[in-house]
Structure 1
Amino acid sequence: MSQVLLLLPDFLLIVAGAWICRRTALNRPIWEGVERLVYYLLFPCLLFVAIVRQPLQLGTALNFLGCGLAVIGAGIAMAYLLRRWPGVDALTHASGAQTAFRFNSYVGLALAERLGGVQGVAAIAVLIAVCVPVCNVAAVWPLARQGGQHLGRELARNPLILGTLSGLAVNLLGVPMPDLLTTTLARVGGAALPLGLMAVGAGLQMGALRDAPGLASGFLAIRHLLLPALAIALVTAAGLPPLQQMVIVAFSALPTASSAYVLAARMGGHGAFVAGLVSLSTLLGMLSVPLALGGLALAQASGMG
């Protein structure tokens, strides 16, 4: 139940953004400015600080990271394969594919703390640091290709990728960061999640999911059904320690990243379609996380038996 309630505030923020945009003077043009602020400043700051503040020891967790990357890689492959479905619109697919493999890092950090305290947070921080660049590149690539943009240029100036890679570089190289600077960046980044989720609500058009209901179902099935099932199989086969197994499985069932909408909107994609996917994914995450952890417990029990 605690995992279900953990996602409820995120969904309520989406609802609040939708209500404010439609019922007050804070209408759509204002939220377009909020989207740009979140995308270019707030989310990069939050990613940078989250990675810098967590000690990373990549060499001691290769099996753990291998399982996490395998889950993400499978999600990317399956999402890309949906492009081959008959009648799939290229721009709609390019916009929504990211929702099948990207994940809400902030919900993940909170979940990991509930599951394993400081050790759980440290474990998922390593996953986030390694998987976020992979996910962001995989998210940008189809949008850049579909929009006729130069992939290398789009990757080099993508603020989410820049924030992540700079955080990794500072962390792994041991570059000292003054407390004043990290505290300031943390406070700037702290606004990313609430404003990002409210921007999702402001751009929400659930009717847009009717543009491609089969495609939407495919993306959400990958995110909330196939990846958790794969994660359970991988961690039990690899024989990871129990805490690492729980972290990987919870990670695989997380709702998609709220910044998926902002990325699609800013790169000329089908933002309304992605906003609908983010909202539904947040709701589904309330079920998929506890169900996935329950499935892991059953797998562990049957293995012991």
Structure 2
Amino acid sequence: MNYAQLLFPDFSLILCGYLVCKYTALNRTVWEQVESLVYFFLFPVLLFHSIVRTPLDLQAASHLIMAGLVLGLSSIGLSYAIPKLPFLRKHIDTRLHAASAQVAFRFNSFIALALAERIAGPQALLLIAVLIGVCVPLFNVAAVWPMARHAQRSFGRELIRNPLILATGLGLLANIVGLHIPSWTEPTLQRIGAASLALGLMAAGAGMQFGHLMKAKSLAISLLTVRHLLTPLLACWLAAMFELDKTQTSVLLAFSALPTASSCYVLAARMGYNGAFVAGLVTLSTVLGMLSLPFALGVLR
């Protein structure tokens, strides 16, 4: 399978967003509003719908869930450890690290959901939704904690206000208790989902910025190495250790190699940190995803 060709539709939307923002009147002022719409409404609806619409067989997916959680906790640990490494300690600004640590473990759910079905059909879409469901709360907690701690802000308040955590928690609760979405709402929810994917990918492109990366090269290289090299290698080992089947292995490897979440810089800016630097990391991660995804799916798999 040609994974570069498989990824082309998603990355072409990212490129479209970048070109539209840079060369037309639809500049950052417009796309900031689009990001808010996607982050606070469209994407939470898509996430809730993806989790609720298909009953979760937690026993069948238990090995994948465990592998995903171990992978997530490991990448969080690697990210948090960067300022403590002897050869990096002097080169890392702790405030900048607090804002950007999330880049090493968060993932772009827009790309995950857009890519999943093309990798291995509807089963892969359900499995990626399960991973999103269990990992988004963990990753958002891990993203908010160092910033809230460094800025001495209320950690619980930041979590309660996070729309992705709310959507995920409600979706899992509804699925577990057996609630179903009325069939007459399906067309509307599917249109919202399609809009969130297209606008989310274009917004990721519109937010791409390279200029601020030179401020902390050591930090940028360390975080992106964890995101795009160490995490896929660890996922390959975990797939073998947990004896995942072919589809689960493909999903875990794709999950491990995704670009970081486009909302990283939104969260950093909203909490009063250097959003421009985080936006630069998101930009470079998006570009590196064009290499790490074919590497994970085509080489490691």
Whether TM exceeds 0.5 here: the answer is yes
Write the distance in 2 (CA, Å) between the matches of 1:154 and 1:248.
29
Write the distance in 2 (CA, Å) between the matches of 1:20 and 1:258.
17
Q: Could you say if the C-alpha distance between residues 60 and 12 of structure 1 is closer, same or farther in structure 2, counting changes exceeding 3 Å? A: closer
Write the distance in 2 (CA, Å) between the matches of 1:292 and 1:39.
28
Any conservation in 2 of the 1:72–1:135 contact (CA below 8 Å)? yes
Match of 1:302 in 2: none
SS of 1:149's equivalent in the other structure is coil
**1:293-304 alignment, distance < 5 Å:** 293-297=297-301
Match of 2:50 in 1: 50
Give unpaired runs (5+ residues) of structure 1: 298-305
Match of 1:303 in 2: none
Write the distance in 1 (CA, Å) between the matches of 2:5 and 2:20.
23
Residue 182 of structure 1, CA deviation:
4.3
Match of 2:61 in 1: 61
Match of 1:287 in 2: 291
Any conservation in 2 of the 1:49–1:185 contact (CA below 8 Å)? yes
The one of 87, 102, 109 aligned to 1:98: 102
Any conservation in 1 of the 2:53–2:181 contact (CA below 8 Å)? no
Q: Deviations over 1:49-93 (max 9, x none)?
A: 121123211123222211111111111111111233323223322
Write the distance in 2 (CA, Å) between the matches of 1:115 and 1:32.
31
Q: Deviations over 1:31-64 (max 9, x none)?
A: 3322322222122112111211232111232222
Q: Deviations over 1:95-132 (max 9, x none)?
A: 22112111222333344323322222222222221111
Alignment of 1:24 with 2:24, yes or no, is yes
CA-atom RMSD, angstroms?
2.3
Determine what percentage of the aligned residue pairs are the same residue: 55
Indicate the larger mover: 235-244 or 66-75.
235-244
Q: Could you say if the C-alpha distance between residues 91 and 32 of structure 1 is closer, same or farther in structure 2, counting changes exceeding 3 Å? A: farther
Give unpaired runs (5+ residues) of structure 2: none
Alignment of 1:261 with 2:265, yes or no, is yes
**1:180-259 alignment, distance < 5 Å:** 180-259=184-263
Match of 1:152 in 2: 156
Any conservation in 2 of the 1:254–1:285 contact (CA below 8 Å)? yes
The one of 160, 167, 170 aligned to 1:163: 167
Q: Could you say if the C-alpha distance between residues 219 and 236 of structure 1 is closer, same or farther in structure 2, counting changes exceeding 3 Å? A: same
Write the distance in 2 (CA, Å) between the matches of 1:296 and 1:204.
28
Any conservation in 1 of the 2:7–2:115 contact (CA below 8 Å)? no
Which residue identity lines up with residue 74 of structure 1 in the other structure? S
Write the distance in 1 (CA, Å) between the matches of 2:235 and 2:67.
7
Write the distance in 1 (CA, Å) between the matches of 2:10 and 2:118.
17
Write the distance in 2 (CA, Å) between the matches of 1:105 and 1:293.
17
Any conservation in 2 of the 1:44–1:189 contact (CA below 8 Å)? no
Residue 161 of structure 1, CA deviation:
0.8
Which residue identity lines up with residue 217 of structure 2 in the other structure? P
Match of 1:81 in 2: 81
SS of 1:55's equivalent in the other structure is coil
Match of 1:123 in 2: 127
Match of 1:113 in 2: 117
Any conservation in 1 of the 2:51–2:133 contact (CA below 8 Å)? yes
Q: Could you say if the C-alpha distance between residues 146 and 196 of structure 1 is closer, same or farther in structure 2, counting changes exceeding 3 Å? A: farther
Q: Could you say if the C-alpha distance between residues 235 and 271 of structure 1 is closer, same or farther in structure 2, counting changes exceeding 3 Å? A: same
Which residue identity lines up with residue 121 of structure 2 in the other structure? G
SS of 2:230's equivalent in the other structure is helix
Which residue identity lines up with residue 164 of structure 1 in the other structure? T
Write the distance in 2 (CA, Å) between the matches of 1:186 and 1:261.
27
**1:124-139 alignment, distance < 5 Å:** 124-139=128-143
Which residue identity lines up with residue 25 of structure 2 in the other structure? A
Any conservation in 1 of the 2:224–2:285 contact (CA below 8 Å)? yes
Write the distance in 2 (CA, Å) between the matches of 1:246 and 1:188.
27
Residue 151 of structure 1, CA deviation:
0.4
